[in-house]
Structures are given as structure tokens and as C-alpha cells.
Amino acid sequence: MNKSDLSFDQEHIWHPYTSAIKPLPCYPVIKADGVFIHLSSGEKLVDGVSSWWTAIHGYNHPLLNAALKTQVDDFSHVMFGGLTHQPAVDLCRTLIDITPMGLDRVFLADSGSVSVEVAMKMALQFWACQGNSHKHKFITPRNGYHGDTFAAMSVCDPINGMHNLFSDSLSQQIFAPAPQTRFDKPWNEDDVKPLEQLISSHHNELAALIIEPIVQNAGGMRIYHPEYLKRCRQLCDDYNILLICDEIATGFGRTGKLFACEHADISPDIMCLGKALTGGYMTLAATLCSEDVAQGVCQDEPGVFMHGPTFMGNALACAVANASLSIIQKGDWQQQVANIEQQLKEELTRCVTLETVADVRILGAIGIVETKTIVDVAKLQKEFVKQGVWIRPFGKLVYIMPPYIIKQAQLRQLTTSIYEVLNAS
Ligand SMILES: *Cc1c(COP(=O)(O)O)cnc(C)c1O
């Protein structure tokens, strides 16, 4: 990429969560292969981020490439209204098969945020169709992240989600304190009390509780005790509200279980999937729900679910998702993620001794270092690139969730860079 392309990018193209006027620098990529991202400047970076949780099998994977090439010669996309196809049927059959019990209906959406919109709309319509349209609010713990569209944004952490800025346009939801008991510490019963109190006083107006199971991601990278999630399930049953689990980041093995719900041995009424669904190749998401929810939404008036993205069930995306799931179903991820977790515990934990570091958290193939003060993203990014790794911090969080195929030495390069860069900062 030449200089004028780069300045065009800076002057005209919006990148995620950045200023259009004072953009952060961007690094041009020419190729990605396995765990490596190749920059046009010649550097080869070990990817610590899996392109935001997606590229779990690494880049340029022969099986995923082949699935796309085969599908593109049949057809790339047909409308899903009135038409169906093998890749979509195969995908939905697998999803029903591998997700927690009772999730038997699938709505294919085109991004994670849309799948959250769909989940929330399902919950609202479920109650409205039964004459309970006063059940129209959502309860959620603070520090959550569910996407950037308006309904999703209304259940994101009010501070991170900049609710003040949008207060006149956002639905007012109910926020419980974030869970405090850490994943591997003894459960503290007080942790769920505030949620319990809020649910007991608001259940008449609540459609659903929405939560990221076990790991809160972009809203704070926090890992909480499975008992909290168990109690969410129990409270939803006791007070007659639906449970929506947003597994968009945690799904497909990242936390050491295929789905994070399994840590608590629960099934939600509605589940959102996305991110790693296509192995990082294309945008695709899914909202699964129980038979009860589907019946409730569609039994009487209006009898239909009013949602239908233009690219719903995109055949290329389904085909590559099927290839990705076939790799998952071989089961190697289990050992790979366990090995990554072990190595992160051995190599990343020492960061707590650094002056600048407040906390280190690890679960499955996720390693998080929380700093005491907000980091200078552009500066740290540059240091990391110098060290040959791709790590993109935000706020006080320097975190990695590498492709499952990462080798020991490559992972060591990531953990060493984090230690060294934070030590020098
Ligand atoms: C990324 C994410 C989303 C939003 O997905 P997009 O594909 O970016 O719209 C929603 N929920 C969670 C938990 C996520 O991590």
C-alpha cells in the first residue's frame, strides 16, 4: 500500500471506535496465514487477538478456504424468504446439536448486534403475544457488552456504552451491579442479592435478563463465578422472565467449554452466537431459542416474527461456518485451549508484580492484564508491533485470545511482549 492510500484511509475511512478527525494509526495488511498477520512494511506479527475472537483456527485455513471455493461455484447467496439450501440446514442442525439442551429453533442473523436485537425482540414479542406487554424491560449486570445497535446498546454498561450521550434515544433498562466473585474463588452468596432484589421488585415489567455467560467481554473483560449464572437461571424461572445468554464472544470453546453456559450447567431460553461462528471468515450470527419461546412468539396474533435481514442465511457464510464447526467437532480445541490456559497461568501471572498492573485474569484461551491507569493505545500498539506481536489494548485492558492453533513458542512471544512492554511503560 502506498503513502497516498494510507493518507486516503486516514482522511476518509472510519475505523472502529476512533475519531475521524484525529484517527489512530493503522497498519496495512497484505496477508494472514496461520497465527501470523503480515504487514506491507514487511513485519510478520503473531496474532494475539484472533481478529476480535473470530479466527479460532488461524488465518487462511485450507479447509475453510475450500468450503468457500466450492460454495461460490454453486451459488453465493439467495434470498432466504421462500428459499432454503443445504449449507443453512446443515449449519442449523449442527448448532441445535451442539448448543445446550432445549435450544431447538434457529434464526440466522448477519452480525452479533443483530442477533442481540433479534433475541430482545423475540423476548418482547413472546410476552406481548400472551397479553403481557407490560413485560417490556430488560435487566442486565453492569460491565456488559452486547453490541452497538440501539437495543443492544441499551443493555451495554451505561458508562462504557455512553448512555448519557444517547439518553433520549435509548430504552431505559434496569442495571444490576456486576458480579464480583471471581471464577475460581469461593462463591459469596451476597454477590447475587442485589440482582435478586431488583428482579423481585421489577419482575412484572421484565421481559428478560440478558447476560454474557462467565466472561464479560468488551465491557470490562471480567470473569465471574459460575454460581452467579446458575442463580440467574433460577431467578428467571422463579420470577417468570426469560434468560438470554449472549455467547457471541465466549462460544465455540474459548473459555474451555464449548459454550460458557456449560460452566454453570444451564440452558438459556434464548442464546446469541456470532464472532467465531465462521472461523473468522465472514459475518454471520445466530439467535437460538427454545421451543416454548418459538411457540409463544408465533402461536397467536401476529403469528409471525417480524425480522428478516436481506442477507439472512447467506450461503457462503453458512458453508464456511459448517467447515469451521467440522474442525471444532473433531475436538482438538479442547486440548489446545487447555494448553493455552496452562501456559497463560505460567507466563502471564507474573505481570501482577509490575508497578503498572492492577490484576491478571485467565480463563481458557483468554488472558487479561488490567493496568492501573488507562493505556496509550497507539504507543503500546507500536511497541507490540516492534516486538512482532499483534495485541490491541483498550482502556485499562491489555488482553489476548489467540487462535487455538498457536504454538507454545508463539504464545510465549505474546506473553513476554506483554510483560516487557508493560514493564517499560
Ligand atoms: C462482539 C459482541 C457483540 C456484537 O457483535 P457484532 O458482530 O460486532 O455486531 C455482541 N455481544 C458480545 C458479547 C460481543 O462480544
Question: Is 163 within a domain?
Answer: yes
Give yes or no for residue 147 CB within 6 A of ligand 1.
yes
Are residue 323 and residue 365 in the same domain, yes or no? no
Please tell me the residue having the least CA distance from ligand 1 atom 7: 112
Q: Is the pLDDT of residue 119 over 90?
A: yes
What is the DSSP secondary-structure string of 93-108? HHHHHHSSTTEEEEEE
Closest ligand 1 atom to residue 218 Cα is 15
Are residue 302 and residue 379 in the same domain, yes or no? no
Distances (CA, A) of 271 to 75, 138, 152, 209: 29, 15, 14, 12
Q: Fill in the DSSP letter of residue 250.
A: T
CA distance 402 to 412: 11
Residue among 121, 175, 148 at smallest CA distance from 289? 121
Opening angle at CA 390, ends 387 and 394, nearest 5: 110
Q: Is the pLDDT of residue 300 over 90?
A: no
Domain span including residue 360: 3-60+331-424
Q: How confident is the model at residue 55 (pLDDT cuts 50, 70, 90)?
A: very high
> Which one of 285, 313, 329 terminates a domain?
329
Q: How confident is the model at residue 161 (pLDDT cuts 50, 70, 90)?
A: confident
Are residue 358 and residue 259 in the same domain, yes or no? no
CA 301 to chain CA centroid, Å, is 33
CA distance 52 to 410: 18
The residues, ordered by sequence, that sit 6+ positions from 238 with a Cβ below 8 Å of its Cβ are none
Query: Which of 52, 117, 145 has the most ligand 1 atoms within 8 A of CB, as the residue to mutate?
Result: 145
Are residue 89 and residue 17 in the same domain, yes or no? no
Are residue 81 and residue 123 in the same domain, yes or no? yes
State the average pLDDT over residues 334-340. 98
Is the separation of the CB atoms in 323 and 66 below 8 Å? yes
Are residue 12 and residue 30 in the same domain, yes or no? yes
Are residue 373 and residue 396 in the same domain, yes or no? yes
CA distance 237 to 227: 15
- pLDDT, position 299: 82
Are residue 9 and residue 53 in the same domain, yes or no? yes
Average pLDDT, the chain: 96
Relative to beta strand 174-176, strand 137-141 is: parallel
Question: Amino acid letter at 267?
Answer: S
- pLDDT, position 105: 98
Q: Fill in the DSSP letter of residue 181.
A: S
Is the separation of the CB atoms in 110 and 308 below 8 Å? no
Q: Is the pLDDT of residue 197 over 90?
A: yes
CA 202 to chain CA centroid, Å, is 28
Are residue 165 and residue 181 in the same domain, yes or no? yes
Question: Is 68 within a domain?
Answer: no
Question: Is 362 within a domain?
Answer: yes
Question: Is 122 within a domain?
Answer: yes
Instruction: Give the pLDDT confidence of 237-290 residue by residue, as tens digits.
Output: 999 999 999 999 999 999 999 999 999 999 999 999 999 999 999 999 999 999
CA distance 46 to 406: 9
Query: Which of 140, 248, 254 has the most ligand 1 atoms within 8 A of CB, as the residue to mutate?
Result: 248
> Which one of 300, 329, 358 terminates a domain?
329
Q: Fill in the DSSP letter of residue 224.
A: B
Please tell me the residue having the least CA distance from ligand 1 atom 6: 112
**Packed helices 315-330 and 332-347: angle between N→C axes, nearest 10 degrees:** 70
Question: Is 115 within a domain?
Answer: yes
Write out the E strands in 177-266.
206-211, 215-216, 222-223, 242-246
Ranges 82-96, 159-173, 229-243: which has the least confidence: 159-173
Other beta carbons within 10 Å of 345: 12
- pLDDT, position 420: 97
Question: Is 12 within a domain?
Answer: yes
- The domain that holds 346 is classified in CATH as 3.90.1150.10
- pLDDT, position 295: 95
Phi, psi of 223 (to 5 degrees): -120, 120
CA distance 217 to 223: 9
Phi, psi of 414 (to 5 degrees): -65, -50
CA distance 293 to 299: 10
Closest ligand 1 atom to residue 116 Cα is 10
Q: How confident is the model at residue 162 (pLDDT cuts 50, 70, 90)?
A: confident
Q: Is the pLDDT of residue 160 over 90?
A: no
CA distance 60 to 132: 49
The Å distance, Cα 147 to ligand 1 centre, comes to 5
Number of domains comprising the chain: 2
Please tell me the residue having the least CA distance from ligand 1 atom 5: 112
The Å distance, Cα 41 to ligand 1 centre, comes to 31
* Secondary structure class of 184 (helix, strand, coil): coil
Is the separation of the CB atoms in 120 and 171 below 8 Å? no
Are residue 216 and residue 357 in the same domain, yes or no? no
Instruction: Give the pLDDT confidence of 24-45 residue by residue, as tens digits.
Output: 889 999 999 999 999 999 999 9
Are residue 135 and residue 263 in the same domain, yes or no? yes
Q: Is the pLDDT of residue 99 over 90?
A: yes
CA distance 96 to 88: 12
CA distance 195 to 180: 12
CA distance 175 to 185: 24
Question: Is 70 within a domain?
Answer: no
Percent of the chain whose predicted confidence (pLDDT) is above 90: 93
Question: Is 69 within a domain?
Answer: no
Catalytic residue annotation: 17, 145, 246, 275
Write the Ramachandran bin of 79: left for phi over 0, alpha for psi from -120 to 50, otherwise beta.
beta
CA distance 312 to 307: 10
